[in-house]
Amino acid sequence: MSSKTIPVNSQHRHGDAAPATPVPYLRSCRLLGVSVAIATFVLLLVAACGAPEAPSSATPLPVTPAPTAAPPTPTMLPRGGNLTVRLATDISELRPWHPRTRGEEQIVGLLYSGLIRLNDSLVPQPDLATRWSPSADGRVITFTLRNDAVWHDGRPVTAEDVTFTLDALRAISPTTALLNDLRRITEVTAPASDTLTVRLAERYAPIFSLLSVPILPRHLLSGRDLATLNFWDAPVGSGPFRFDRREPGIAITLAANSGFYRGAPLLERVAFIVAPDPQVAAGALGDGRLLLAELPWSTARTITATAPSLQSGAYAENGYYYLGFNMRPDRIFSDQRVRDALVAAVDLQRILREATDGQGMPIGSSAAPGSWADLTAPPTMTVDLNRARALLDEAGWRVPAGGDIRQRDGVTLTVRLFVRADDPRRIRAAELIAGAAEQIGMDILVQPADFATVIRSKYAPPYDFDLLLGSWSNGVADPDFADYAYYDPDDFALFHSSQINQGVADSRAALNIVGFSDPVYDNQAGAARQLYDLAERAQAIRLAQERILLLRPYLFLWADRLPVVCNQRVTTLDGPVNLSTPNYFWNIERWYLDVER
């Protein structure tokens, strides 16, 4: 989903997505120039850094040897080496809390730390904060900070830095969902250098993911306008890597932070090399100039099939495609039997195969696949036309003698399905859904339409649609990027009955566009927003997801796989790099290059 156009809402940024823009044709001399630039930079990087360092000794784990045993041999850690990563777009401006591209999101994650960080399952974990405890009403959260974190310039990180950061971000005009949600914080205080108190207007469980926002150095930034500052002018963080140099249009290089509190990184440097053309990047992966890259679906499949030195994986995009049923009382799909009938007729496997070329993965809920909140398995994909026809018969929609389209009380079962005209994948999916409906006597008129002039209006009163094939993004850092930096699975805004537009006087950007209302869902989704214990919150989310799957305001269609290709020399102390998570850099300080491969 390359562009999102639905307005920002107070909980999360959701938006319909445009199709990916095709890579423009570049003349062969331009491709050669980019390829030579990559090779030249890698050579310069090696020359600047020297050969990989010899492994150094580390303190062994405590061992009590037998009286006659020799002293234990220190564990040798494989230090040194440079990781080269594809950067699809150069980053001319940096704002740590506001990543606008995948590369910027990753660089920020290496340069900066938050109170909290998200692990490979997107679970909030301690980072600069070692622990936290909420008050009984959940409106006050006290954080204890670690005492061994330092800025890249050697100054200690203190609670005053956190207070400065959160106060400064809350003062910026809330143009993103992140900035808007941070305003749920009413006060931040630092009773001691290692203690922080955050007060909220009300209990709010997603606050923990939001507090993974990068903490900024007060001693360098106090008095400066953060909203307009380009942080390349002051790129000082406390993360595992520090800023080394930036060569516009060529590369951004980060060097290991030897004072990093979780342990000095094993890698010497991480160089993000600008390689916009995926074919050039694929060639650089093949010959080892690049060691890791995210690539388009077709490019990744081709290179991994021909290059045995590469391993591949894919994580789910933070967003999904769905078929929305208008459930308002005057609409045909207000009858669940009609919704269930269409679902029983649709061949989801065929949609994934033909509409997405296999890139789409089946999903059972709005939660990110593979995350801690991915608790509801996709429904079975068995087509059951007999059940579909029986449901429509039961609902009073019957095939007239000599006819093909069902009728009830003289009205034919004809509905309109709106879909963006600029996305061939969506159009193909809509056509397959219409073809499935035809087999059970339902007439679906596919209406490809311009987003700006037609589709956008369907997300607002009077909600004039029967079916809408759309998409949502769960990114919160920027309206046009589906980031994972602050991921939280809360879908309250999409399905809670309080998020249904209440009429002319309701000026909210209400996102419950299908008019779904269910007291059981409301209860569980409301609880999930207030439960701070992760296990308890997961149970509430599971129950809410089950209601959505049962009552079907949406038919979840797919989430796109985003491929990652990595040289097999790149590994970690924890085993192979986990390329199935968007947070595969979560343990970057433990990555190294296996010189024996």
Please tell me what DSSP assigns to residue 73.
Answer: P
Low-confidence ranges of the chain (pLDDT < 70): 1-75
Query: pTM of the entire structure?
Result: 0.89
pLDDT at residue 71, as a whole number: 53
Contacts 24+ apart (CB under 8 A), 255-260: 257/152, 259/150, 259/154, 260/589
Which part of the chain has CATH 3.10.105.10?
A: 319-560
- The pair of three-digit structure tokens given for residue 362, joined into one six-digit string: 């089946």
Question: Length of the chain in residues, anyone?
Answer: 597
pLDDT at residue 414, as a whole number: 98
Q: How far is CA 594 from CA 45, 77, 287, 587, in A?
A: 18, 11, 16, 16
Rounded CA separation 212/210 (Å): 5
CATH class of 319-560: alpha beta
Residue 504: how many other CB atoms lie within 10 Å:
7
162, 261, 173: which is closest to 216 by C-alpha? 162
Residue 359: how many other CB atoms lie within 10 Å:
21
- Ranges assigned E (strand) in 201-327: 241-247, 251-256, 269-274, 292-294, 310-316, 319-325
Q: How far is CA 151 from CA 188, 197, 272, in A?
A: 21, 22, 22
Cβ 559 vs Cβ 550: under 8 Å: no
Rounded CA separation 228/208 (Å): 26
301, 287, 291: which is closest to 269 by C-alpha? 291
Task: Specify the CATH superfamily of domain 113-232.
Answer: Dipeptide-binding Protein; Domain 1 (3.90.76.10)
Q: Quick one: 476 exposed, middle or buried, by C-beta within 10 A (0-12, 13-18, 19+)?
A: buried
Rounded CA separation 35/106 (Å): 23
Rounded CA separation 451/418 (Å): 10
Cβ 578 vs Cβ 249: under 8 Å: no
Rounded CA separation 471/473 (Å): 7
List, in sequence order, the alpha helices (H) in 148-206. Answer: 159-171, 177-182
Rounded CA separation 352/186 (Å): 46
In this structure, the strands spanning 269-274 and 251-256 are antiparallel
Rounded CA separation 473/492 (Å): 14
Q: Is 495 left (phi over 0), alpha (psi -120 to 50) or beta?
A: alpha
Which part of the chain has CATH 3.90.76.10?
A: 113-232
Cβ 414 vs Cβ 405: under 8 Å: yes
Cβ 587 vs Cβ 395: under 8 Å: no
